[in-house]
A and B are shown apart, each in its own frame.
Chain A
């Protein structure tokens, strides 16, 4: 049972990239608003999904939370402390509490390091600086136990990444993320690069680990079905803003935002009779460029239910029912 303490709170997060022109003297001609004022929270023990299509800003959000990408403004409160306000030393201390599982099993492991060394590295880094009280022997024991937990044979410890399959590499990455016993795991598209039959293995592994270690997940993905399976609550993003937040089942059964409705209707369901009966909401055109200056709701150009006021100001994210928030003037 997840307790209701908030582990992570994101407040008015903005990540804007300057667009510069010029060779000698670079002038700023505009901003790429990858993340434009979003706020949400993650409760301890839950799995929160961040979902959206390309350009929605979900990956940038994850990297900003993980302090691997500088945010332009806003606060990222982890257990009440703003990560952006920490000194380098304090940040280093804090990092062990949130670790990352990356998307690409081929580039997320150093090809010249053995599997066991990859998993042990975080512990060694912290032990060397005196922040972790483990001897080398204890580190090796912990590594072996982690490998077992993620389903890797101990004999694989001395192998190099290229000797493993995609799924196994992802397991190594997961073991590495668990090495420092973090409270929060940021999973950035952890199964997108894997074969279909391996995806469910890894998803189930993550679920089991979540139960065993009482982990909290921030799960980023573009595959809505995967997110619905893994996460209890989902944040739908569009063009750097949040369109809707709801529990998984509620999102599917009662989507409120026109974008969410279109997204859900576009996801194919492996059920031929059902597919034949579905009415697809086909959106007009493409996702607009995040560099264009925008006034009003970012979705209005493609929205079939856009009203006049949608062009004048952007709708705020508001709670419409318990646990269900949406940013749309249709629900005011």
Chain B
């Protein structure tokens, strides 16, 4: 568990972010009023299934949403106090790759097949740190060594197709950390990899985060990955954050029915044969035709009348051990508690 004091100001603060898409079927509210903080050195997990808005959140942070049909419809993204949503393309470009970096799920399509690896890594260094090509390439080779590519000197001049999937992901990570960013956003970085390679990559990310006090926002649907990597977790559903908790709290005391349902429906290798898995009934919602009230209501076994009428407010519990604790559910709304 990271030693972050509760009083530390977060380095990234997302407030009431809304990202909508205008499609021919209507407005898709991919991200609808979410707020969360990331502190220095913290590993934050954004967990959810397809369509929950986790990837769109990511892309919004770096303003990489294709506009049209997408648009950031409201909110603030405060990085070290400065709102990233104000300012023009030039401003955000200085941040991308330098202060906030991103790695994606599919290493095969994220690398330019026609450029040597060394040049691709060097690119960011030349852009942000003004290094000469020679110096940048030399630094690139060092980075490759540091992240565990064998024979880094010769392999640096290979092309992406000459690397395996796991190696390519390492190259992506090398590119992302080349400018020593404050925050690394990892969008399902290991979903396309074999599980033994996944272990290597997650290990690498964790070490980098510890050594460089780099914050990580990890997007994934794999609860096992989250349990091993993250300090704090935000569970997303239909564009909202339905629960926030420190990792131990989330797994031992899930408050939102969706979180609980997910935890009960995932098979574990240490107990798979013991009981029948729970299934959350129904299917993930169609974001164009969301029902009134809580978006999880159609699948919730504890739904009440009010759940179908009004959207639940967020209930914030006290911050124990520095991690936030909140849930957006009518079951937990109390007269005396704080709501937002």
Contacts and interface: CB of A to CB of B under 8 A. Distances in A.
Contacts of B228: 268-269, 272, 275-276, 278
A210 to B, nearest CB: 13
Given A195-B49, A275-B227, A269 B167 contact: no
Contact of A200 (B195, B221, B277): B277
Interface in A234-275: 248-249, 252, 262-275
A27 interface: no
A41 interface: no
Contact of A53 (B49, B194, B265, B279): B194
Interface residues of A, number: 46
B197 A286 contact: yes
A192 B281 CA distance: 19
A267 B266 CA distance: 13
Contacts, number: 138
Interface stretch (A13-21, A119-127, A224-232, A305-313): A224-232
Given A197-B284, A270-B251, A53 B227 contact: no
Contacts of A54: 165, 194
Nearest to A266: B199
A39 interface: no
A295 interface: no
Contacts of B221: 195-196
A168 B269 CA distance: 27
Interface in B210-227: 221-227
Contacts of B284: 165, 195, 197-198
B248 A273 contact: yes
Given A195-B49, A197-B284, A269-B224, A222 B195 contact: yes
B266 A270 contact: yes
B171 to A, nearest CB: 13
Contacts of B270: 252, 269, 271, 274
A304 interface: no
B164 A228 contact: no
B269 to A, nearest CB: 5
Nearest to B277: A200
Given A197-B280, A263-B196, A286-B197, A228 B227 contact: no
Contacts of B166: 286
A204 B275 CA distance: 11
Contacts of B251: 270-272
A272 B227 contact: yes
Nearest to B164: A286
Most buried by A among B194, B198, B261, B276: B194
A286 B194 CA distance: 10
B203 interface: yes
Contacts of A276: 228
B118 to A, nearest CB: 20
Nearest to A203: B277
A204 B276 contact: yes
B272 A248 contact: yes
Contact of B277 (A204, A249, A278): A204
Interface in B142-172: 150, 164-167
Most buried by B among A207, A268, A273: A268
Given A229-B267, A282-B199, A270 B227 contact: yes
Interface in A176-200: 195-200
Contacts of A225: 224, 266-269, 272
The 7 closest A-B pairs by CB, nearest first: A268-B224, A228-B272, A53-B194, A266-B199, A270-B223, A200-B265, A229-B267
B264 to A, nearest CB: 8
Contacts of A274: 227, 270
B273 interface: yes
B72 interface: no
17 contacts: A53-B195, A54-B194, A196-B265, A197-B49, A197-B262, A199-B265, A200-B267, A225-B268, A229-B267, A229-B272, A248-B273, A263-B196, A269-B224, A270-B226, A274-B270, A275-B224, A283-B200
A315 B179 CA distance: 48
Contact of A196 (B49, B269, B272): B49
A49 to B, nearest CB: 11
B139 to A, nearest CB: 25
Contacts of A198: 283-284
B302 to A, nearest CB: 16
B317 interface: no
A80 interface: no
A201 interface: yes
Contacts of A201: 279-281
Contacts of A95: none
B265 A267 contact: no
Contacts of A294: none
A224 B269 contact: yes
A287 interface: yes
A323 interface: no
A316 interface: no
A198 B49 CA distance: 10
B49 A266 contact: no
B276 to A, nearest CB: 7
A214 B143 CA distance: 56
Given A195-B283, A272-B247, A287-B164, 6 more contacts: A200-B279, A204-B279, A264-B269, A266-B199, A286-B164, A286-B197
B110 interface: no
